[in-house]
């Protein structure tokens, strides 16, 4: 506290100054305490919202598989012998919201041809067929999964606006990509050399017939490889939704 001055006037001034300093310290301490409480409340609120979002996302995914998947049977992972080859990924269904969100962004016309590279059981092919595409193609290396996809498309044919829909059993790395492809879809179907070969097929098609191609790439593990061709640019990237384990992160590329 220090030593009080001897003179009365000086003592009063000293005490007044000291009292003001104490009040300032108490105000600062109170502000720090309140800031700490606010920060704690924000952290707890965010954690609570994240738990709620994860719960809602999980419930929504469960609802979608129960209701939207009825008659398609596309839910559940699947591993086939063909997936054992280097660079190919076992089947996992694309989340229901990914394609609609991407198509809302880029638009669809009756001049567009849609190709799903690694279509598995056909969930995305069915979703695309409900839009006014000129034609829709699913490419799948496993005959077993391709047959499941065909059966599901037959069961849901009455819901389709596009009636030129087919499932092609082929290795995407060796596929001659259709020269009318305008929108391609990849839900991380392969990696490494297989992805590079499939990408080369798309670029070759673009060379044969120059046009605008958009690639919807969910779980874009090899987005840099697409950009390295010098034939595509990244136009947007949608963030994952809470609770979907990052599967909804989607990049959209456009030929340039």
Does residue 139 or residue 77 have the better pLDDT?
Answer: 139
pLDDT tier at 107, thresholds 50, 70, 90: very high
Phi, psi of 184 (to 5 degrees): -110, 150
Q: What is the pLDDT of residue 73?
A: 80
Average pLDDT on 160-176 reads: 96
Q: Give the residue among 104, 74, 94 at the shortest CA–CA distance from 214.
A: 104
Strand stretches in the chain, DSSP E = 113-117, 135-140, 165-169, 183-187, 214-218, 232-238, 250-255
**pLDDT class for 238, splitting at 50, 70, 90?**
confident
Confidence at residue 217, expressed as pLDDT on a 0 to 100 scale: 97
Residue 237 phi, psi dihedral angles, 5° rounding: -140, 120
pTM: 0.74
Strands (E), 53-199: 113-117, 135-140, 165-169, 183-187
55 has a pLDDT exceeding 90:
no
């Amino acid at each position: 506290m220090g030593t009080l001055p001897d003179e009365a006037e000086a003592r009063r001034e000293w005490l007044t100054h000291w009292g003001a300093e104490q009040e300032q310290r108490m105000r600062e301490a109170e502000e720090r305490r309140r800031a700490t409480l606010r920060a704690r409340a924000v952290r707890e609120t965010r954690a609570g919202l994240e738990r709620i979002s994860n719960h809602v996302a999980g419930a929504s995914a469960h609802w979608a598989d129960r209701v939207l998947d009825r008659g398609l049977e596309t839910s559940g992972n699947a591993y086939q012998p063909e997936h054992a080859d280097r660079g190919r990924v076992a089947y996992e269904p694309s989340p229901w919201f990914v394609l609609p969100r991407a198509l809302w962004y880029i638009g669809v016309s009756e001049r567009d041809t849609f190709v799903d590279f690694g279509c598995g059981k056909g969930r995305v092919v069915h979703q695309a067929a409900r839009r006014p595409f000129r034609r829709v193609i699913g490419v799948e290396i496993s005959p077993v999964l391709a047959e499941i996809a065909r059966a599901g498309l037959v069961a849901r044919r009455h819901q389709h606006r596009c009636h030129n829909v087919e499932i092609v059993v082929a290795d995407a790395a060796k596929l001659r990509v259709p020269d009318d492809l305008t929108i391609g879809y990849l839900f991380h179907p392969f990696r490494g050399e297989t992805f590079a070969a499939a990408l080369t097929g798309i670029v070759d098609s673009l060379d044969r017939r120059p046009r605008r191609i958009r690639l919807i790439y969910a779980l874009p593990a090899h987005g840099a490889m697409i950009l390295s061709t010098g034939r595509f640019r990244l136009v947007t990237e949608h963030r994952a939704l809470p609770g979907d384990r990052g599967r909804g992160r989607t990049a959209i590329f456009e030929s340039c």
